[in-house]
Amino acid sequence: MSDADYKSIIKLDSELNQIRDVDLLLERILLEARKAAHADAGSIYVIQREKEDDGSMVNKLVIKHAQNDTLTKYLPPGQKLVYSVFSLYINEKTISGYCALKKELVNVSDVYNISPDAPYSYNASYDKISGYKCISTLAIPLITVEGFLLGVIQIINSKDQNNNVVPFSQDAEMLIAHFASIAATALERANFIRAMIFKMNKMSELRDPKETGTHVARVAGYAVEIYERWAFHHNVPEREKERFKDSLKIATMFHDVGKVGISDEILKKPAKFTPEEYAIMQQHTSIGAQLFTDPLIPLDLIAWDVAFTHHENWDGTGYPGWIDPITGKVISTNNEGKPLGKKEEEIPLVGRIVALADVFDALCSKRVYKEPWTDDDVLAEMKKLSGTKFDPELVDIFFEILPTILQIRNNNPEEK
Ligand SMILES: [Fe+2]
Ligand SMILES: [Fe+2]
């Protein structure tokens, strides 16, 4: 490895350790692994327990991100590749499965000419579906210091200076193996943060059963994608965008955490709220904000805005409006003597984004009082609410990135 390679690895170590969200981290790990080995494409898998048809649970490799420079070139600027979601058994039959089983790196120069002695083979149907031909591939396990397997990075088609596909070199193997150990440490830490967030959210889920872990994951996923597209239109610098995405993702997961402070009689009431009960329910916004007041934690600034303003409406008809969430004091009243609603850009961007993401997910989901709406009805409703409930610019962005939004929905189905 050259000095430059070492320097970039050291820099990456500190950068990866600043990313707290698991999904954003996985996306970045795959990107950096591909960059280091000049790979045109790749996928990243994590170990997840999945239910088999016979009801037994088994550890599998679940794809979390796929990237492909060649296929992305054909997409409009700023659009992301949509890939199919699948999982693999950890066994000798596939390249990634073998890599996970043996916890060792696998380097194949041509997947269409794998040695007959090798236990694994290549499933060419992926190439047929995508129209992209995989030739060389390198699969690397992500293993913690204690030897636990977290996942596998599989990078595809190493390119030389003339853009020809070549096998992955021994240098690339060494560089990627070193990179994988750094990535595994960062991933282990992000997994821990995720587990803590899920525990906190589990507490609010126990109070309000419709706020499930998957609802929270989907809404956070949508919010980040909407922000990313907004940042693309507003020329937000790359570094600032990446940092903000990470904080927004975590902050969004806490959008309804204030429900821990609302009584069960109200949260679980199967009938319509009385005006008094509805007023109490609305307090989950202020209670949520009260949890994020630490000036030493930058994440708290965003989490405060999200929790406090995700029920404000673009036209000023939402809640809680102009009040001080700590003291409950009303800052500005409307002509009925109630707190004046925040409107348009008085509502922080993150509040406007999460409002849209949260409502979209609620419409698509089953609730005790309703079945999920059809996609046509949901999308018509989103358009209808542009300029009244939602920021019209964000509704336009939502439709621009609809394939990515639907991909997130597919990736995080409601548990049965
Ligand atoms: Fe809420
Ligand atoms: Fe929600």
Using an 8 Å Cβ cutoff, are 67 and 81 in contact? yes
Of the listed ligands, the closest to the CA of 318 is: 1
Task: Quote the ligand 1 centre to 405 CA distance (angstroms).
Answer: 20
Using an 8 Å Cβ cutoff, are 38 and 212 in contact? no
Q: How many CA atoms lie within 13 A of 80 on its CB side?
A: 20
Of the listed ligands, the closest to the CA of 310 is: 1
Strands 87-89 and 57-68: antiparallel
What pLDDT, in 10s, does the model give residues 209-239?
A: 767 778 999 999 999 999 999 999 999 998 8
Helix H, strand E, coil C: the string for 213-228 is HHHHHHHHHHHHHHHH
Of the listed ligands, the closest to the CA of 308 is: 1
Active-site residue, from 259, 329, 343, 383:
259
pTM confidence score: 0.80
Give the residue among 388, 411, 254 at the shortest CA–CA distance from 316.
388
* Partners of 143 in the β-ladder: 149
What pLDDT, in 10s, does the model give residues 143-194?
A: 998 999 999 999 999 999 999 999 999 999 998 998 899 999 999 999 898 8
Task: Quote the ligand 2 centre to 408 CA distance (angstroms).
Answer: 16
DSSP code at position 106 = E
Of how many residues is the chain composed?
Answer: 416
DSSP code at position 258 = G
What pLDDT, in 10s, does the model give residues 236-274?
A: 998 899 889 999 999 999 999 999 889 888 888 877 889
Two tokens, residue 271: 């009938």
Predicted confidence (pLDDT) at residue 97 exceeds the cutoff of 90: yes
Is 259 assigned a catalytic role?
yes
Using an 8 Å Cβ cutoff, are 307 and 261 in contact? no
Rounded Cα distance between 257 and 262, Å, is 10
Rounded Cα distance between 350 and 366, Å, is 25
Residue 127, pLDDT score? 87
